[in-house]
Amino acid sequence: MKNLQKMVSAITLCVGMVAGAQAAPDTIKFSHVVAENTPKGQMALKFRDLVAERIGDKYVVEVYPNSQLFGDGKEMEALILGDIQFIAPSLSKFSKYTKQLQIYDLPFLFKDMAAVDRFQRSEAGQALLNSVQGKGLTGLGYLHNGLKQLSANDPLRVPSDADGKKFRIMSSDVLAAQFEAVDAVPLKKPFSEVFTLLQTRAIDGQENTWSNIYSKKFFEVQPYITESNHGVLDYMVTTSNEFWSGLPDADRDVLKKALDEAVAHGNQIANEKGMKDRQNIIDSGRSQVITLTDAERQQWVEVMKPVWGEFQEQIGQSLIDAAVASNQ
Ligand code: LMR
């Protein structure tokens, strides 16, 4: 009898342990390459908090910033392999998976972030979120960072000032063509290497948004920043088809809603943060912000805009027309 009681207790304990194990929340890893005090960094943290609040018994989001877990080049593969569940790469980093998103790299395409936003909300912009579906990736939404500026060791006022200079670019052929158009030398390098490349003068300059230039301290090693607003740096929040379709419907809905709210939060701070970090850079006195005259800016437009023609076939003219129309 005693033995039977012992056996029953042991079975009860085992069942309890298994039930307990099943109840442990699943870990969702969100990996990104920027600092936490950026629109993307803040969005990821907001997502983590909303998930904890709403469905924390089932999922826990772990955020890995600053290329801590995976840097450029590796994060998409890691997502497809299931090592992580969310990333939000810059739209410039998808060219291995789709040529259509190259549209966002065309220089001087959007007149401001409101135009970018209008395009992203349009039917054509929304359809682009599905452009990587065939490659195992699910685009869940756009996130803003902002317009890019040019930083360098020397002042850049007109295109000929960039002649022969080496610029770090993201992994985009359009961005390569953009710098080649001004006779500069583009080098595709991961974001995590940019500060050291600039500091050691292995390269002369780079292009980025105010919040990235500030949070990664590029301004401390780049004496000049030209406020060119020549292109956009936005993101696509991305998961894998396998992870997303494997979720129970009700959980997927909760996670998507939390993500949409986190993205809205990130978008709201993107603009404010950009302007604040621009001012922080000016106040630091480490870097001089160069404002172009209309005539100087027009020179950059004239030299860089022909790049559109080179990529027209890959991107599609109707998509380019839809983006141009968003400027009205
Ligand atoms: C860059 O590589 O410069 C940016 O895409 C980094 C980022 O994610 O904002």
* Sequence-distant (≥ 6) Cβ neighbours of residue 78 within 8 angstroms: 31, 69, 70, 84
pLDDT at 271: 87
Give the separation between CA 40 and CA 89, rounded to whole angstroms: 9
Strands 224-226, 288-290: parallel, antiparallel or unpaired by DSSP?
parallel
Q: Report whether residue 212 contacts ligand 1, using a CB cutoff of 6 Å.
A: yes
* Nearest-angstrom CA–CA distance, 29 and 15: 29
Q: What is the pLDDT along the chain (328 residues), one digit of tens a residue?
A: 455 455 545 554 444 444 455 679 999 999 999 999 999 999 999 999 999 999 999 999 999 999 999 999 899 999 999 999 999 999 999 999 999 999 999 999 999 999 999 999 999 999 999 999 999 999 999 999 999 999 999 999 999 999 999 999 999 999 999 999 999 999 999 999 999 999 999 999 999 999 999 999 999 999 999 999 999 999 999 999 999 999 999 999 999 999 999 999 999 999 899 999 999 999 999 999 999 999 999 999 999 999 999 999 999 999 999 999 999 9
Query: Ligand 1 centroid to 26 CA: how many Å?
Result: 28
DSSP element (H, E) containing 245: helix 241-245
Query: 88 alpha carbon to ligand 1 midpoint, in Å?
Result: 10
Indicate the SS3 state at residue 325: helix
Task: Give residue for tokens 């410039």.
Answer: 92
Domain assignments of the chain as residue spans, ordered by start: 2-325
Distance 209 CA to ligand 1 centre (A): 9
One DSSP character per residue, 274-288 reads: HHHHHHHHHHHTSSE
Residue 33, ligand 1, Cβ within 6 A? yes
CATH dotted code for 2-325: 3.40.190.170
Number of the ligand 1 atom closest to the C-alpha atom of 168: 3
138 lines ligand 1 (CB under 6 A): no
Q: How far is the CA of 34 from the centre of ligand 1 (A)?
A: 7
135, 146 Cβ separation under 8 angstroms? no
Q: Whose CA is nearest to atom 5 of ligand 1?
A: 90
**H/E segment holding residue 237:** strand 232-240
Cβ within 8 Å of residue 252, ≥6 positions away: 244
> Is the CB of 218 inside a 6 Å radius of any atom of ligand 1?
no
Angle, helices 307-315 vs 317-325, to 10°: value is: 110
